[in-house]
Structure formats: C-alpha cells, structure tokens
Amino acid sequence: MDMNAVNQNAGRQLAFNPENCERMPSGIFCSDSFGRWALTDVSGMPLLAAESFPQDLLPYMASSGSFYGPSLHILVVTLACNHACIYCRVAPVSEKEKGTEMTLETAKKSIDLAFNTPNDCITFEFQGGEALLNWPVVKSSVIYAKEKNKIYKKDMRMAIVTNLSLMDEEKFKFFVNEGVSVCTSLDGPAALHNLNRRYGNSGGHDKAVYWIKRFAAAASSSGKPDSLPSALMTTTKHSLSIPEKIVDEYRDLGLGGIFIRPLSPIGHAGTVWKDIGYDPLEYKLFYARSLKRVLEINRCGERFVERNAALFARKLFHFENPNYLDLKSPCGAVTGQLAYNWDGNVYSCDEGRMLGAGGDASFMLGSVYATKWRELFVKPSAIMCASASCLESQPACARCAFKPFCGVCPVHNKAAQGCIYGNMKGSYWCEIQKAVFYVVLAALRNPADREIIKGWID
C-alpha cells in the first residue's frame, strides 16, 4: 500500500493512507480513528492542531536550536601531508615544504580561546594535512590542554585525525595513556583505499589497518569502549560498484559500524569531478546497496550500525538533536564548532577554513592573537552563516517534508553555486540528502528492518 507522511517542525511524523484524507480549507485532515488530531505512531503526541499550538511540543522545538557554545575545536596543526588523495578538498602541501606548521604558541592561544567559550563539554581535534608531521606540537598541546582543564574542569575530550602512516610505538603509547581518541580514513578494501588515497609505492591501507587493530585492542583491554578508534570513508566513482565489500571491510575490522559519506564537489574534488564524481541517483543506488548489506549483517544477530540511518532515526523516533553539525538548522558553524588554522586565524568551521586556503576568506572570524571569543559570535561572517543555514530562510526548504531532519551548508553553497544561500532546487547537496532519506524511509517500512534501525538508537 502506498503511504504518505506529514511532518511538523519538531520532527513529529504521521504515516497515512491518502485515501483516508480529505482536503479542507485549513489544510489536510486525517479522518481516521485518532479524530481531529493527527497523531504520531510513536508516542501519541499531537502532530497537527486545528485551533491551538500543542504546548507539549515546545521542549522538542526548543532543544533543536539550543545554543551552548561551540563544542568542537579543530586545531589544524599543519597543512603539509604525505598522501596525495584524489579527492582532497584543499591544495596539497608537500611534507618537505615548511612554513605551514602551527607553532606551540599559536596552539596554546587556540586552546586558551576554546576554554573561554561557554560550553562545558568541549572536544579538541588535532588535524592537518597530516597532523603527525607536527608531532611535537600535538604532544605538547595535549599536555597543555589537560593542565588547563585542571582549572576549568570541563568535560574535555581530545582526538587526532591521522592517516596513521607515521604512527609508531611512542605515539601509540602516548595517545593510549593520555586518552586521545584516534580517527583515520578507510575508504574500503586495499585496492580501493590505495587508489583513492595515494601514498608511496604501495599505498597506506596496510598501515592504517595495522594501527586500527592495535588501538582497538588497547581499547578492549582497558575496558573503555569510548576509546575505540574510528574510521571514515569517502565515496568516489571507484566505490560505486563494491558497496558490500566496503561494508565488510569495516565489519571485519570490528569497527561496529560505518558512516557512508558522499564526496563534495568543492575545492580540488570539484576540478576532477568528471574522474571521481557521480550523480545523486548513482549515489542513491550505492547507499541503498550499502544499507541493505548492513541490515543483512544485523539480521544474523550482529549489531552493526549505519550512522546516516541512525542519525535520521534518532530524530524521527526520539525527537532528539544528535548534534550532527552538518544537519542542523542553523548549521553547526560557529555555534557548534570553530576551526583554528595553523597561522592562528579562526574560521566558522573546517570547511570554511578549507575555502580560506583557496583564497576565499568569507568564513574567517578573526585571530587567536587579536579576537576575544565573544567577538567571534557577532562577526558578520558568523551572522551570515546562521542566517544562510536557517531552513526557514530557504524557500525550497521551509516547506520541505524533510526539514526536521535536514540542514544546509553555506560553505558548500558558496563553493558550488557562488552564493552562501545557494539554490536548493538545483543543489547537489539537497539531492544527496534526499537520496539518503528516501532510502532510509524505504527500509523503515519493513517492520523487521525498522526494529533493527531503532535498536541502533535505544
């Protein structure tokens, strides 16, 4: 049976048979056993009211836009990298080239600014380039932040994003002992990973897998599952024919799940799009096959999560904002994250920093040497980000059925369409997000698959 769905801004949803609806002057009225209210099949909360706004929905709507200050603070400790990934969004800087390393003074200034922001829960993420090319500053920054937190007493976490090619026993023991989580890139099996992420003559897959296993074993022996290593994949044209093998690579490594991520046609990736890109329909088919394989694994009794579907389900069934910065309204730029460039310039987000590396400073907020944290949030570029990513200000988004679950990226709009507001009707971003939503909704129509996906968030 074909089913339609009605959403409201807090994310409440009712699935209904179109034959049971009659059009009325005030909109659509569902003439089923629920009567004048259209109710969710999850909690019984009102979805549509004919005469008054349901006050019980206010907490859910308020939580979706709550502001506590940025929680994620990204320190770009170097632009240099020892890989030559085919989709890198910024122009690569050779590891032999000097002059793009963050100094310890700049790192400390960045950490000081981050501690002064109001959020009591903060994460420091060290990245590059290849962050381990500036190992002395990474190590000293971790120690400095931990000492600083003895005064501020925040709920602080630290992470490093690395391709793992420069990992060794000294660094491994330091990260394990200091509780620094490790995130790396893993695009799939060796042949695909080494094609996408070129390193030396043999590729970086074997080293990445070796250290993923080492960090996973350390996390298991410590009894701290939160310290498990994480990996992210990026989908290129070369990935489209082997989604099942990509999923199985993550499963075989015991990573517990996978985040199927599309490639953005911005920066360097946009210049080689004909070689590595794809259209939204191709990605939809790829994602559908990936999710199908994930669900097959779960049907055999093994819990293995696809994180796009889990994010969507958390909003749909729990009416929660999971703080995924890309799919918020407004987006997480400035309010959810700040990016500190190697030279001390502060950007709205890491994507904005990447655009800055290409000469577009639209998303730069100031400098750790000259700008106080309160000033960052009233900069024109900060206000611009909030305005452009508020879905109510997007004509194509304001009445979209997926509005409660979605978000827009002003940086992507600026890079792809030349305007921070963009045109969602012609937006690659929009088509990709809808593709994912449609695939997940199709899976949720199957009662067994719905219970599996709901199990990922319970």
The average pLDDT across 73-90 equals 90
| CA angle 333–330–405, rounded 5-degree value | 115
Annotated domain spans of the chain: 1-53
| CA angle 72–75–79, rounded 5-degree value | 135
In the predicted structure, residue 455 carries a pLDDT above the cut 90: yes
Give every CB contact of residue 74 below 8 A, 6+ residues apart in sequence. Answer: 125, 127, 337, 338, 339, 340, 350, 353
Q: Distance (Å, rounded) from C-alpha 440 to C-alpha 138?
A: 39
Residue 222 phi, psi dihedral angles, 5° rounding: -85, -15
Q: Distance (Å, rounded) from C-alpha 261 to C-alpha 246?
A: 12
Residue 311 has what pLDDT?
93
The H or E element containing residue 156 is: strand 155-161
In the predicted structure, residue 202 carries a pLDDT above the cut 90: no
Residue 32 has what pLDDT?
36
Q: How far is CA 151 from the centre of its chain?
A: 31
In the predicted structure, residue 5 carries a pLDDT above the cut 70: no
The average pLDDT across 37-48 equals 42
What are the tens digits of pLDDT across the range 278-304?
999 999 999 999 999 999 999 999 999
Residue 24 phi, psi dihedral angles, 5° rounding: -125, 165
Give every CB contact of residue 286 below 8 A, 6+ residues apart in sequence. Answer: 235, 239, 240, 243, 260, 278
Instruction: List strand residue ranges (DSSP E) for 218-373, in order.
Output: 230-232, 257-258, 305-306, 337-340, 345-347, 364-367
Q: CB of 151 within 8 A of CB of 118?
A: no
Length of the chain measured in residues: 458
Short-list 291, 281, 293, 286, CA closest to 313: 291
Q: Is 259 exposed, middle or buried (0-12, 13-18, 19+ CB in 10 A)?
A: middle
The H or E element containing residue 88 is: none
The pTM of the full predicted model, rounded to 2 decimals, is: 0.86
What are the tens digits of pLDDT across the range 221-239?
876 655 679 999 999 999 9
Q: Compare 199 and 65 and report the one with higher pLDDT.
A: 199
Which of 214-228, 307-321, 358-372 has maximum average pLDDT?
358-372
Q: Distance (Å, rounded) from C-alpha 361 to C-alpha 384?
A: 13
| CA angle 112–326–192, rounded 5-degree value | 105
Q: Is 166 exposed, middle or buried (0-12, 13-18, 19+ CB in 10 A)?
A: middle
Upper half-sphere CA count for residue 73 (Cβ side, 13 Å): 32
The average pLDDT across 379-400 equals 90
Q: How far is CA 331 from the centre of its chain?
A: 11
The average pLDDT across 305-311 equals 95
Report the percentage of the chain scoring pLDDT > 70.
Answer: 82
Give every CB contact of residue 13 below 8 A, 6+ residues apart in sequence. Answer: 5, 6, 7, 40, 42, 47, 316
What are the tens digits of pLDDT across the range 420-443?
998 888 899 999 999 999 999 999
Residue 68 has what pLDDT?
81
In the predicted structure, residue 89 carries a pLDDT above the cut 70: no
What are the tens digits of pLDDT across the range 21-31?
444 333 333 43
- Name the amino acid, one letter, at 326: D
Neighbours of 110 (CB within 10 A): 27
Q: Alpha carbon of 266 to those of 37, 348, 425: distances in Å?
A: 45, 17, 18
In the predicted structure, residue 85 carries a pLDDT above the cut 70: yes
In the predicted structure, residue 10 carries a pLDDT above the cut 80: no
Short-list 257, 236, 237, 241, CA closest to 289: 241
What are the tens digits of pLDDT across the range 139-192?
999 999 999 999 999 999 999 999 999 999 999 999 999 999 999 999 999 999
In the predicted structure, residue 276 carries a pLDDT above the cut 60: yes
What are the tens digits of pLDDT across the range 390-414?
998 888 898 898 998 898 999 999 9
Q: Distance (Å, rounded) from C-alpha 70 to C-alpha 399?
A: 28
Upper half-sphere CA count for residue 82 (Cβ side, 13 Å): 16
Q: How confident is the model at residue 322 (pLDDT cuts 50, 70, 90)?
A: confident
Give every CB contact of residue 432 below 8 A, 6+ residues apart in sequence. Answer: 262, 280, 283
Q: Distance (Å, rounded) from C-alpha 124 to C-alpha 179?
A: 12
Q: How confident is the model at residue 266 (pLDDT cuts 50, 70, 90)?
A: confident
Q: How confident is the model at residue 306 (pLDDT cuts 50, 70, 90)?
A: very high
Q: Distance (Å, rounded) from C-alpha 354 to C-alpha 350?
A: 6
Residue 26 has what pLDDT?
38
Q: Distance (Å, rounded) from C-alpha 183 to C-alpha 201?
A: 24
Q: How far is CA 274 from the centre of its chain?
A: 25
DSSP letter, residue 188: S
In the predicted structure, residue 46 carries a pLDDT above the cut 90: no
The average pLDDT across 324-346 equals 91
Q: How confident is the prediction for the chain on average, in pLDDT?
A: 85
Residue 7 has what pLDDT?
55
